[in-house]
Structure formats: C-alpha cells, structure tokens
Amino acid sequence: MLPNVHDTCFEEEGAGAPALPPVDGGRDAWLALAGGFTLEALVWGFPVCYGIFQTYYTTHEPFAAKPTGIASIATTATAIMYLGSPFVALFVQRWPGLRRLSGLMGLVVTVASLITASFCNSTAGLMATQGVMFALGGLFLYFPAMYVIDEWFVRRKGLAFGVVWTGTGFSGAVLPWVLQWLLNSYGFRTTLRVWAVVMAILALPCLLVMKNRLPVTRTHALRPIDWSFMKLPPFWFFEAGNIMMSLAYPLPNLYIPSYSRNMGMPSFSGPLALCLLNIAACGGYLLQGQLVDRYHVTTAIFVAVAGSVVAVFLFWGLTTSQPMLYVFAVLWGLSGGGFAGNWAGCANALRTTSNSLDTGMVISLMCAGKGIGSVVTGPISEKLLQAGVWRGAGFAYGSQYGAVIVFTGVTALLGGTACLGRQLKLL
C-alpha cells in the first residue's frame, strides 16, 4: 500500500503538530462520503436527465415554434463541466482553504441559473442559464468534494469514489420520473424553481459537513503541482482508453428510447430500459471501485471493457424484444456505465512514478477526456444514423441503428488500451 502522502507532508511541518483524524472511516469520513454522493446526484444528475426537458421544450410554447438549439443545451452544459474540470481542480488544489467558499458560490450561481431559466422565453436564454450558467456553478459546487474525498479515504479510495459516482446513476433512475410528473402537472417554470429549492436545501448541508481532513498551511499554495505523470506513457494509455470509451458511453442513453420505438416496443420500454441502465450503473461504479482497491487498475478496465463488448455486440445487436433490451441495459450499466469508477485506480497506478501526484488533478484530466468524447460522439452518431439500414443484416444490426451499435461496440473495445499497455510492460 502506498504511503499517505498528505500525512507525510503534514508531519514535516513539525513534530509537535496534532495527530490527524484516521482515514477510511469515522464520522467525518462518512459525512464527507454522503455529501459527495449527494452533490454528484444534484449536479451531474440534472443534465443527465435533460432529455425530459428537451421533449417538453420542443412540444410546448414558447419554445416549440423555434426548437432549434434546444438539443444543444445539455451537451453544452456537460461539455463545460467536463472540459472545465482541470481548471477548477487547479484552483481548489492551490487554495484548499477556499474549498467551502467555492462550493457556496457555486451553489448560489447554480440556484440562480435555474431560477433565471424559469423566466426565459427563448432558446438562447435557456442556453445561457440552464446550459452555461448551471455548468459553471455546478463545477465550483461539485469539484472541491473530489479533494475532500481524496483526503479522507486511502486504502478504500476506489470504493469511496465509486460510491460518490453512483449519485449520477441514482439520479438517472429516479429523477426522470419526478421531473416528468412536475412538468406535466405544473410546467417548466415551476419545475425549475422547485429543483432550485431542492438543490439549495440538499446541497447546503453537504458543504457544511464536508470538512478538510488536512490542515491548510501557509506554504500549501506555494507547493508546485507535479505534472511529470503527463510525460510518461501510462497516463496516455489510460487517457486514450478513457476517451475511446467516452465515445461509446452516451450512445445507449441517447438512443435507447428512439430505438425501442423504432422496433415497435411499448412506449414505456425506453424509459424503463434507461431506468434499469442507471440503476445497474450504480453497481458498475461500486464494482470498479472494489476492483481497483484490490487489483491493478487494468484488471478493472478489462472487466468493464469485456462486459461492454459482450453487452453491445451480443445483446443490443441481437435485440428484437423487450427482455433482450432490458438485459442489454443492465449489462451495459454494470460495465460501460460504471467505467469511470476506475479513475481513482488510474491515479494510484500513476503514483508509482511520483509520490506527489494529485489524485484530484488526474480525475479532472480524465473528466476532460470524457468531455472530448462526449462532444464528438453526438455529430458522429447523427452521421451514422444517416447511413440508413444495413441490407442483409438481421436483428438490430438490420435497423437504422446498426451502424451506431457497431460504432459503440468498437469504441468500447478500444477503451481497453491500458490493458494493451500493461501487456507491453509500459505501465
């Protein structure tokens, strides 16, 4: 087990320094974990469920008359949150004493974005508020939690981050039903205001109980950030696989509803499959977290990639009925849906080259890589759909989604580049 680098740094401050709280357990550690889970569910779960709003906006005034650009609101928000992660990580790493203030300011901006969006009458207004403003506030609200979790968990770090990231799966399974009911019953203006209140009520206690484990010293901000891991092959094997998997990751979520309709399944089959996928993704994050705590991270990556490839090519590709669709959703959630659960393991593997490596910075760079894939995969998948039906192919491969299915499976397979690097003795 690697030494606790943070404890070592603290001890150098002086022999008379008070003992640090224990890691991997205790009241404050569990409160930090609960807070991280809740912030994950609130900040990332909302854009994940944007499809509910998209359907509403495109079928109701004042947006139905000019729906152009509505579909880009969620992709803009997630792109900003993914690609902006390294910059926010750099800020909270350099000034750890400002983590709570950063979270509070982020909460104010996020709540204000939702309330302002509720008064919008144009797509441009929604883009500026529900898209850009929400994303910027969400970044500063959420990302300090990554550093708090990193301080409180050492031997069980992978599992801890896995628990936090299940928050997105939990929101993806529960929130669509709640938002759909609110939109149908009260409209988008009330729904956005209700969610703003919910965020304020749930997020504020999280910020108050998530304490730094390590004392903030005067010299902390002067410590240089170690970027040496970016000069070595292991990081780029991890990042390349992460980007390739991120090309596959959004596609089942994006196309399962329309695919199920195209195959003549009942209207509830798409939402039910998405619900099952997101529930299974919670298990996927926990599975990846457990694996990276016990084995080399490439073992966890191999399990996720193998499961993803089987799920896509065997179950999605051969799906013509509801049961097969639901089996695919569960298998994909457990494998590809929880792939990001190995990011903490990637940081641990990279730490063998540098004991001063910053876990939060590695995770932020993985987020940025996922953002690149998420931005690119939308236009690519649209072109693949335009390719039309594959003549002579059977099952789902013979539908207009055949090219999308193959693309998803191939990019998921390429998500295992780190396993290749391991075999080549490069990591």
CA-based max dimension of the chain: 77
405 close to 211: Cβ distance less than 8 angstroms: no
- Tell me the per-residue pLDDT of 229-281, one tens digit each, with 9 for 90 and over: 888 888 999 999 999 999 998 888 878 877 888 888 887 888 888 889 989 99
Q: What is the average per-residue pLDDT within 70-86? A: 83
Q: What is the average per-residue pLDDT within 171-186? A: 87
CA nearest neighbour of 307 among 258, 245, 361: 245
- Tell me the per-residue pLDDT of 319-376, one tens digit each, with 9 for 90 and over: 888 999 999 999 999 998 888 889 888 888 887 655 567 787 888 899 899 888 877 8
**With bands split at pLDDT 50, 70 and 90, how would you rate the model's confidence at 13?**
very low
Domains of the chain: 23-213 (1.20.1250.20), 225-427 (1.20.1250.20)
Q: Running DSSP on this structure, what letter comes out for residue 169?
A: H
Q: What is the distance between the alpha carbons of residues 109 and 112, in angstroms, rounded to a whole number?
A: 5
Helix residue ranges per DSSP H, 263-296: 269-294
147 close to 360: Cβ distance less than 8 angstroms: yes
12 close to 6: Cβ distance less than 8 angstroms: no
pLDDT of residue 353: 53
The whole-model pTM stands at 0.78
End-to-end Cα spacing for the chain: 17
